Amino acid sequence: GAVVSQHPSRVICKSGTSVKIECRSLDFQATTMFWYRQFPKQSLMLMATSNEGSKATYEQGVEKDKFLINHASLTLSTLTVTSAHPEDSSFYICSASRGLAGDEQFFGPGTRLTVL
């Protein structure tokens, strides 16, 4: 199978601090990884797409200086929420696909971020 892990699963932080979330593909090489944000009872909203070794492509309205994405290897992408505020509290989910035009996306278990 294709397994994607995400760490941490839950994080609580104070306003103004930064939080890093890791997404790993455990048994395959993920050319492309995606970061989503999901508010309660809402759909998944794509934040950015990252390809290994290149800069992430951010969706309209997503601040790239606030949500730093690094895709340093074919199995690891990180999302750093900088200077977090309560409105950043959400469920963050990553996914990964094989190949440049790989259709199927394999989702991580998500990270519940709560900013106090």
Partner 1 sequence: GENVEQHPSTLSVQEGDSAVIKCTYSDSASNYFPWYKQELGKRPQLIIDIRSNVGEKKDQRIAVTLNKTAKHFSLHITETQPEDSAVYFCAAKGGYSTLTFGKGTMLLVSP
- Cis-peptide into 8, omega within 30 deg: yes
> Cβ of residue 1: shortest distance to partner 1, in angstroms?
11
> Cβ of residue 43: shortest distance to partner 1, in angstroms?
5
Query: Which candidate, 4, 5, 19, 7, places its Cα nearest to that of 114?
Result: 19
The continuous run of DSSP H or E covering 33 comes out as strand 32-38
Q: What is the CB neighbour count within 10 angstroms for residue 95?
A: 23
Q: Which is nearer to partner 1, 81 or 93 (CB)?
A: 93
Q: Which is nearer to partner 1, 76 or 102 (CB)?
A: 102
Q: Which is nearer to partner 1, 19 or 93 (CB)?
A: 93
> Cβ of residue 16: shortest distance to partner 1, in angstroms?
27
- Cβ contact 5:23 at 8 Å: yes
- The residues binding partner 1 (CB under 8 A) are 34, 42-44, 46, 49, 91, 93, 100-101, 103-105, 107-110, 112
Q: Which is nearer to partner 1, 65 or 103 (CB)?
A: 103
- Cβ contact 10:74 at 8 Å: no
> Cβ of residue 83: shortest distance to partner 1, in angstroms?
26
Residue type, position 21, single letter: I
